[in-house]
Copies of this chain bind each other. A is one copy, B any other.
Amino acid sequence: MANNIPSLDRLIDSFASLPGVGRKSASRFAYHVLDMNEEDVIAFSEALAEAKRNIHQCPICHNLTDSDKCSICEDERRDRSVICVVESARDVNSIERTHEYKGLYHVLHGLISPMDGIGPEQLYIKDLLHRVADEDIKEVIMATNPTVEGESTAVYIGKLIKPFGVKVTRLATGVPVGGNLEYADDITLYKALEGRSEL
């Protein structure tokens, strides 16, 4: 899409680099930006630079934060004997939204995936083992996604943690609430049957 306007093309290129955004959506976004108030565009531009500048990983759990430690590690009311291990910082938000979990987190920033050349040493697994060894941890919940990589990462880490005498658990897999058995895939249904509980 040659607009003959280099600064517009650069903006479209930037939008097109976002996940799941093609050239058409990117150009829609860019034209929308040109229709926005100047202040809003400046605010957007600053939000980008500022977020990248201010936000870094929490040195304890590798969740994202803009201060020394993340808000969860700093919160005195959290249960410090449970660690929930997740793939990404976004998963922390998903679990926080349930308002059900009161423990700490550990963000791996990836999953073991030999196909993509990601081994255990590229993830923050060593830091997790240090936390389990040094602190008074009673349970580690493996909350990686129920995918091949998620499962194998959970199993791998579980094997490393068990020798410390810590309980290792895994999120339940089954039919989602509001779902329909007819549309559930075979493995999900198999897992739901296998993990059935008494009424």
Which residues of A approach B to under 8 Å, CB–CB?
1-8, 10-11, 13-14, 17-21, 25, 27-34, 36, 38, 40-52, 54-55, 64-66, 70-71, 88-90, 93, 96-97
B88 touches A31 (CB 8 A): yes
B64 touches A8 (CB 8 A): yes
B66 touches A27 (CB 8 A): no
Q: Which residues of B contact A46 (CB under 8 A)?
A: 45
Q: Which residues of B contact A2 (CB under 8 A)?
A: 96
A18 touches B32 (CB 8 A): yes
B51 touches A48 (CB 8 A): no
A7 touches B50 (CB 8 A): yes
Q: Which residues of B contact A3 (CB under 8 A)?
A: 64, 93
Minimum CB–CB distance for A18 against chain B, Å? 5
Candidates B20, B34, B42, B65; contact of A25 at CB < 8 Å: B20
B6 touches A66 (CB 8 A): yes
Q: Which residues of B contact A19 (CB under 8 A)?
A: 28-29, 32
Given contacts A55-B34, A90-B31, contact A5 B49 (CB under 8 A): no
B36 touches A41 (CB 8 A): no
Q: Which residues of B contact A51 (CB under 8 A)?
A: 7-8, 10-11, 30, 33-34
Given contacts A4-B71, A10-B50, 16 further A-B contacts (CB under 8 A): A2-B96, A3-B64, A3-B93, A5-B66, A5-B71, A8-B64, A11-B48, A11-B51, A17-B44, A19-B28, A19-B29, A20-B28, A28-B90, A36-B52, A41-B48, A44-B48
Minimum CB–CB distance for A55 against chain B, Å? 6
**A5 — nearest CB in chain B belongs to which residue?**
B66
**A75 — nearest CB in chain B belongs to which residue?**
B4
**A92 — nearest CB in chain B belongs to which residue?**
B3
Provide the bound-state CA to CA distance between A50 and B4, in Å.
15
